[in-house]
Amino acid sequence: MKLKINGERLWSSLMEMAKIGATEKGGCNRQALTDLDKQGRDLFVKWCQEIGCERRIDQMGNIFMRRKGTDNTLPPVLMGSHLDTQPTGGKFDGVYGVLAGLEVLRTLDETDTHTLHPIEVAVWTNEEGARFSPAMIGSGVWSGDFSLEYGLQRTDKGGATIAQELERIGYAGECPCEPFPIKAAFELHIEQGPILESLNKPIGVVKGVQGMRWYDLVIHGQPVHAGPTPMEQRHDPVKAAARIIQQLYSLADEFAPQARATFGDINVSPGSRNTVPEKLTLTVDLRHPNQEMLKQMDEKFRQISSSVCAECSVQFEILDEWDSPAVEFNKHCIDAVRASVAATGLAYEEMFSGAGHDSVYVSRVAPTSMIFIPCENGISHNEAENVTPEDITSGCQVLLGAVLTLATQ
């Protein structure tokens, strides 16, 4: 008998969780380690314990809920994502992957289906990075990319540390925050982009995550009066920035269709209407799923900046803010997802994730892959974030099939 998840139950659980931190515009504000995050965690743990799962919490507050296998000496198959949201987040980002994992366990429990390997659902701490920076800190400490001390001492705008807030809400665990043997890890998530919807395909088989590099480009000019100073005698950082931006857009075209170039923040000082700025700071975000291509984009960005700033008679510096290398997911995990999609008969698209996820860090220490479903108009990190119950159900059915394939081997 082919197992089928209960889509109505999964949708009901999502809507129940969405009441915690609900916003007037239909979204959620359930930021990491707030009282509302505690309520969401407590509800999830309660649901898991109702079907006999065992709870484990590590030093970063990452939660692992385990359903035993017939051989508990074997490494578990892991599912999961996160429960925290953006300040004006939606009802599905992250939480879908967590509650879909719960629905898989509920389906196995009610059908008395046993697996050789244990199965666990993880809730990773502070994936969003909205309250504490950087994003994905819980999985990042767990994977060893950040030290435990670094993670616990991250502060919010009010000065509270992650360590203090974990203690306050009762999720300062004693288990070491470090990798343990894992057979396979799956993260089910909304796409957060428009590709699946535009292709009218309900499933994305995610092969990896784009490499991402963040920079602050700082250009130093000379502040002079806007009226008396001829254009050709100015040392204008805005002129240089405008040319660099245009050339980086052309660079994205050169490495199309998968390259991305974004300039999310521009700041000038002294910020006077009738004064040429003394300094301009431009944030630059470059992305590509191929690490070699991303490296070439990085090199050309530096060459462009050097050439343009020399032409404009200004000085510059590039501050490297973040480097997240491109990720290629595990072949066996991807194959398990493909086989599960084929069993459902659903159309799918093989793709790369344009956003970062906890699976980026998990994949560095365990075989990992992801599954996407469409979201309306590609909108996410927004109260208008929306998906259909049908797609929610389809994605969870694919997750169930992939998990069973590897948990029974």
Task: Judge whether 180 lies within some domain.
Answer: yes
Of 136, 30, 60, 47, whose CA–CA distance to 100 is shortest? Answer: 47
Directed axis angle between helix 95-110 and helix 389-407, to 10°? 60
Percent of the chain at pLDDT exceeding 70? 100
Task: Judge whether 1 lies within some domain.
Answer: no
Host domain of residue 238:
212-324
Q: 262 and 126, same structural domain?
A: no
Task: Judge whether 64 lies within some domain.
Answer: yes
Task: Judge whether 115 lies within some domain.
Answer: yes
Number of domains in the chain: 2
pLDDT of residue 356: 82
pLDDT in tens, 296-340: 999 999 999 999 999 999 999 999 988 889 999 999 999 999 999
Q: 177 and 164, same structural domain?
A: yes
Task: Judge whether 30 lies within some domain.
Answer: yes
pLDDT of residue 1: 54
Q: 272 and 162, same structural domain?
A: no
Question: Per-residue confidence at 409, pLDDT binned at 50, 70, 90?
Answer: confident
Task: Write the CATH number for 230.
Answer: 3.30.70.360
Q: 76 and 47, same structural domain?
A: yes
Q: What average pLDDT does the structure give for the chain?
A: 96
The last residue of a domain, from among 281, 303, 324: 324
Task: Write the CATH number for 371.
Answer: 3.40.630.10
Region 280-294: what's the mean pLDDT? 96
Of 150, 278, 161, 263, whose CA–CA distance to 221 is shortest? Answer: 278
Q: 178 and 142, same structural domain?
A: yes
Reading the block at residue 17, the tokens are 């969780």
Q: 136 and 35, same structural domain?
A: yes
pLDDT of residue 84: 98
pLDDT of residue 179: 98
Q: 185 and 149, same structural domain?
A: yes
The last residue of a domain, from among 279, 296, 324: 324
Task: Judge whether 269 lies within some domain.
Answer: yes
pLDDT of residue 2: 85
Percent of the chain at pLDDT exceeding 90? 95
Q: 188 and 71, same structural domain?
A: yes
pLDDT of residue 321: 86
User: Is omega for the bond preceding 257 within 30 degrees of 0, making it cis?
Assistant: yes
pLDDT in tens, 113-169: 999 999 999 999 999 999 998 889 999 999 999 999 999 999 998 999 999 999 999
Region 50-63: what's the mean pLDDT? 98
pLDDT in tens, 187-239: 999 999 999 999 999 999 999 999 999 999 999 999 999 999 999 999 999 99
Q: 269 and 360, same structural domain?
A: no
Task: Judge whether 303 lies within some domain.
Answer: yes
pLDDT of residue 294: 97
Q: 255 and 153, same structural domain?
A: no
Task: Judge whether 2 lies within some domain.
Answer: no
Q: 125 and 190, same structural domain?
A: yes
Q: 190 and 318, same structural domain?
A: no
SS (H, E, C) the chain: CCCCCCHHHHHHHHHHHHCCCECCCCCECCCCCCHHHHHHHHHHHHHHHHCCCEEEEECCCCEEEEECCCCCCCCCEEEEECCCCCCCECCCCCHHHHHHHHHHHHHHHHCCCCCCCCEEEEECCCCCCCCCCCCCHHHHHHHCCCCHHHHHCCECCCCCEHHHHHHHHCCCCCECCCCCCCCEEEEEEECCCCHHHHHCCCEEEEEEECEEEEEEEEEECCCCECCCCCHHHCCCHHHHHHHHHHHHHHHHHHCCCCCEEECCCEEEECCCCCECCCEEEEEEEEEECCHHHHHHHHHHHHHHHHHHHHHCCCEEEEEEEEEECCEECCHHHHHHHHHHHHHHCCCEEEEEECCCCHHHHHCCCCCEEEEEECCHHHCCCCCCCCCCHHHHHHHHHHHHHHHHHHHCC
The last residue of a domain, from among 324, 343, 373: 324
pLDDT of residue 306: 98
pLDDT of residue 309: 98
Whole-number Cα distances in Å, 8 to 15, 307, 388: 11, 59, 12
